[in-house]
Chains A and B, each alone.
Chain A
Amino acid sequence: MEDQNFTIISYVMLTGLAIVERERTVQSLYHMVRGRKASQVLQDVHHFVLYPYYRLFPQLSRESWDEIVKYLHDNKYIEEMNWTDHNKKSFYVTEKGREKIKEVDNEHQLTYKLSLIDGLRFTPKVERFRKHLHLVVQTVSHLLFEDMRFSPIISHKDIQRTVKQLLATPQARKAWITGLERELYQLLSIYSADIQEQLFDQLTGVGQVGMTWQQLAYKNNMPLVLFQLSMTGIWTQVYKEVEENHDKYPLLTMLIEDDSRALLSVSTSTMETYRLLQKGADIQEIAVRRNIKSNTVEDHIIEIALAGIPLDFSRWITKGQINEVNQVSKQYETKRLRLIKDELGNSYTYLQIRLALALKGGPNG
């Protein structure tokens, strides 16, 4: 099982590498799956549409990553190559690598499983929703059995507080007591019997302690990594189902948190820059005030653009310029800044080109 986990995780990485080949280093995917909140990483998520990969393995150690890369090299799935305009090395996926991807995809439906995951825009919200749901189910189950002596399975104080508030009044308790099972039934009956059972077995209440994903993976005779991929996607679907159908799930809807925290998907340093930009400070001023390089401020601006956070970008670039840059990018099928800049005859700054690409690709576009 251990070895199987290793090979599967390696193949997942291979599919990710196939997306950034020739344009990035091998290493860039490591930062991606770890979910680094650096501007470059966040920009790449949007540029290369790497949403499933972002923060897919937040705990992956450097040693494991090196082993994976070695494995992919040793098996000749990827090859190193020189990168014309950089000192670093890039790489490409070999024919053998591509065949391997196809083969593994047939066997495990990796592409499908990954397509359901969005580590940047959904997984964090889904995780929070899942924890709220677990605690509310446990609490309501104990209310129904009139036995309130239990240890909450979610130890986050803020979630405990929310659930407590949700169940604070007799009317609210009655609504949850009488309605939760029906909403869960509606929600779970969308799925096939085996998925229903997998989801249900994760719940905790009187007479049942939820199973962990590792335990369910054993029960379903699946390598853990594969089960994780599949479950992350399924819970994302569950979340979306509730979010898109408020009227069908009046109770479960209450477990979805306010989305005003889109700002959370950027780094705290970027937040600081954002605040100053809103006050009208320019790049130089911010760099001086914050004692950071102006390049870093520019990175922050790109990050803000990509995350879809409202800001007046017209002080740096016009609509017409955005279109021109993107036309060149499309024409030459590249997102490499140097090439685009050369093609445009040096009349654009790097900031403008990056901003143009970001505003086109991101939610602000």
Chain B
Amino acid sequence: MDKNLLVLSDALQAKFGHTSFREGQKEIMVPLLQGNHVLGIMSTGGGKSLTYQLPAYLFPGITLVVSPLISLMVDQVQKLQKHGHRYATYLNSSLDRDEMRIVMEEVVAGVYQLLYISPEKLMQPQVISLLRKRGVSLVAIDEAHCISQWGHDFRTDYLKLPDLVNSLGNPLVLAVTATATAEVQREIGELFQILPEHQVRLTVNRPTIAIDVKWVKNDAEKQEILFSQLKELRMPGIVYCSTRQTVDKLVAKCHGEGLHRVSGFHGGMNPMERILIQEQFVQNQLDIIFATNAFGMGIDKPDIRFVLHYHTPSSMEAYTQEIGRIGRDNQPGYACLYYREEDLLIHHRLFAQEYPTVEEVIRFIHLFARNQEEFNTLTHEQLFEEVGVGENVTRLLFYYAEKAGAISSVHQLKNGYEIRKNVFQPEQMIEQLWGIIQQVKSQKYQKLKGIQDWLQGDSCLRGRMLTYFGEEMAGHHVVNCCVHCGIDPTMYEKKEMSVEIPTRLVWDLKTALSQLLPGVTHYEKGEHHEDNP
């Protein structure tokens, strides 16, 4: 056996208690240990995180995991701690200044081997210098597709990562993602100089999941199908919707229909509510979650039996990721999308909110174009009142303004931004900036068009899904493949009436408390005993 593979196998056994790797894991880690940059594309739940969590134990320096979502970092660190791994922590904007200082001190002191970090923290010079002091062996880029402008989830703060990685003293890079088309794969490879032979791609095909589509005429028909399916389908499952309002509406309707073991989940809920709902689902207190795309990342539940799409997701990538949450236990599962062309307009509306209008671009450029000074401070208030854009659109504007050459640097201040402006001709600059933004925006529409075409075609959905991701269907034969090849619906129906968890019949505070905190009952019994000899 290869020396590195042996080291990995031993560590896997010693640290994680597993005796064998899952598909793709050693193909990613062995070249990494040999000192190569690696790109890993494997579906959610395929065991991506192990590919950096395990090497983190083996490298002398610290392993950084760059992750776009705070909740994901917290989640992963908690999961590690839950299983006895004390070598990991996180650094992001959820920490206040003191906590941040403590963590950094501990990092430099060598307390941790694994640090989850947000791109924005990694941009701070003092963080970089402290990390260099500690020594960085590996930078894992989670959700690496976010770096691609052609990806479905482009994030401007990811774009600086190649430079930042270099400034850390050229550590190894491991880019991982669940979904990347061939084009995105090529782009990630180029940005981080990952050789083609070190790019590991697992198939997105999940033969145990049936892909169904229902073409519906209107919302009433949709609801009718939904509720009849919810009464038939084997639980548990997720129903994805594009808007919070729909989530709330459908949950209310469920309660009206006598379905009570259901709950909504969306970004409008507070962190504690979200954790509770997620835990209830994992611990089988709930049968159905109605959710926006905010739900699912990092969720650890192998027995999800169905995912329904009440609305069409914004891209093939999003769709594939969402149905990929079905049946990680490799038992059969059912995906069904309710298609109505008008639903695509929801995304048009959401896209419009994501990007500035031409008027906003004009006002933005004029905000500092006339200024003679090289350095300009633009406050949040100014941006909001004079340009009329919120924080997200602002960041996008700065990013593309830099790219278009209007400014040469941006620094975030407490009450706004400091920019270093270049000399330019305003009208020309507006045209250029608007051009770039339109180009990026049109990518989003193309992604949407991609899933629309996929739904409107009349040949095998699975085959065309694989084609989309640059794979071939050859060799795959799937029973219960898709709506065009034929699905036996009874496969996914409840076999017997589900057993309702017994509800409390009589409320008794003492009994209830003693079930949650049982120790005291013994204590009290003992005490009671002494009082009444």
A-side residues, CB < 8 A to B, are: 1-2, 59, 131, 134, 137, 140-141, 144-145, 149-155, 157-158, 177-182, 184-185, 188-189, 193-194, 196-197, 200, 203-215, 218-219
Contact = CB atoms under 8 A, between A and B. Distances in A.
Given A158-B99, A212-B277, A180 B517 contact: yes
Contacts of A212: 263, 269, 273, 276-277
21 contacts: A2-B249, A140-B517, A151-B275, A153-B272, A153-B275, A157-B95, A181-B513, A181-B519, A182-B524, A185-B509, A185-B510, A188-B509, A188-B513, A194-B507, A197-B507, A207-B516, A208-B516, A209-B276, A212-B263, A212-B273, A218-B260
Interface in B123-179: none
| Chain A binding surface, main DSSP class | helix
A188 to B, nearest CB: 6
A313 B460 CA distance: 80
A1 B252 CA distance: 7
B512 A150 contact: no
Given A157-B99, A203-B516, A215-B263, A151 B279 contact: yes
Contact of A181 (B99, B248, B268, B520): B520
Interface-central residue, B94, B260, B517, by most chain A CB under 10 Å = B517
Interface in B170-192: none
A162 to B, nearest CB: 12
Interface of B: 74-75, 78-79, 82-83, 94-96, 99, 248-249, 252, 255, 260, 263-264, 268-269, 271-273, 275-277, 279-280, 283, 285, 504, 507, 509-510, 512-521, 523-524
Contacts, number: 110
A207 B501 CA distance: 12
Contacts of A218: 255, 260
A133 to B, nearest CB: 12
A151 B81 CA distance: 9
Given A151-B279, A200-B509, A180 B96 contact: no
A207 B512 CA distance: 12
A180 B517 CA distance: 8
Contact of B513 (A145, A149, A184, A219): A184
B275 A178 contact: no
Nearest to A199: B509
Contacts of B518: 144-145
Contact of A211 (B83, B276, B504, B510): B276
Nearest to A212: B273
A144 B277 contact: no
A131 B516 contact: no
A264 to B, nearest CB: 13
A184 B517 contact: yes
A131 to B, nearest CB: 7
Contacts of A209: 276, 279-280, 283, 285
A213 B272 CA distance: 11
Contacts of A211: 276, 280
Contacts of B79: 151
Contacts of A152: 78
B452 to A, nearest CB: 30
Given A2-B252, A215-B263, A155 B74 contact: yes
Given A185-B509, A193-B507, A153 B279 contact: yes
A153 B279 CA distance: 9
Given A188-B509, A210-B276, A205 B517 contact: yes
- Leading 6 A-B pairs by shortest Cβ distance: A181-B520, A181-B517, A144-B519, A205-B516, A209-B279, A209-B280
A325 B284 CA distance: 64
A185 B285 contact: no
Nearest to A218: B255
Contact of A185 (B271, B513, B515): B513
Contacts of A213: 273
B272 A182 contact: no
Nearest to A135: B272
Contacts of B94: 155, 157
Given A131-B272, A204-B276, A189 B99 contact: no
Nearest to B523: A178
B513 A151 contact: no
Given A144-B518, A188-B509, A194-B507, 10 more contacts: A2-B252, A149-B83, A155-B74, A177-B519, A181-B513, A181-B514, A181-B521, A200-B509, A208-B516, A218-B260
A200 B513 contact: yes
Nearest to A180: B517
A280 to B, nearest CB: 27
A15 to B, nearest CB: 25
B510 to A, nearest CB: 7
